[in-house]
Amino acid sequence: MILSDLQKTILSLALNGRRSSRYRGADLIRAEILESYYGWEHSYVPQRLSGIRFSRAAIGEKKYNSAQVAVSRAVQRLERRGLIRLSTWPQGILLTDTGVKAAEELQTG
């Protein structure tokens, strides 16, 4: 199965999130993808579910929007392949059994 670097990162982060049980109801949230893959600095906002917020001004509007689109497309493709499913609370990503196997294979090489 051919996956993009972003898709591989998503699977790996989700597997690590599952193992650490960081979130109840999700293995990974979008903010973690943006922070890890793009290296963005974030601020903490207690009112938000994840508490993580990125500055569009610091990142640049065009770069921010492009990254959001790229992550959305990567997530949709992983979902179509049956590797992940979306959770609604918290809004995030859950690995399927097939996704766990694929992520483990990526991590072991």
Please list the residues that pair with 77 across neighbouring strands: none
The b-or-e profile of 43-74 (16+ CB within 10 A means b, else e) is: eeeeeeebebebeeeebeeeebeebeebbeeb
Main-chain dihedrals φ then ψ at residue 88, nearest 5 degrees: -100, -25
| Model pLDDT, residue 44 | 65
Q: What is the biggest distance separating any 2 CA atoms in the chain, rounded to whole angstroms? A: 40
Provide the 8-state DSSP code for 23: B
What is the distance between the alpha carbons of residues 101 and 26, in angstroms, rounded to a whole number?
A: 17
Is it the case that residue 102 has pLDDT exceeding 70? yes
Is it the case that residue 27 has pLDDT exceeding 70? yes
Q: What is the pLDDT of residues 36-70, one digit of tens each?
A: 999 998 776 665 555 678 888 889 999 999 999 99
| Model pLDDT, residue 109 | 80
For the packed helices 30-38 and 5-20, what is the interaxial angle rounded to 10 degrees? 120
Q: Which long-range contacts (CB under 8 A, 24 or more apart) does 16-19 make?
A: 18/95, 18/100
Mean pLDDT over 58-87 rounds to 96
* Structure tokens, 79: 């979902």
Single-letter residue type at 104: E
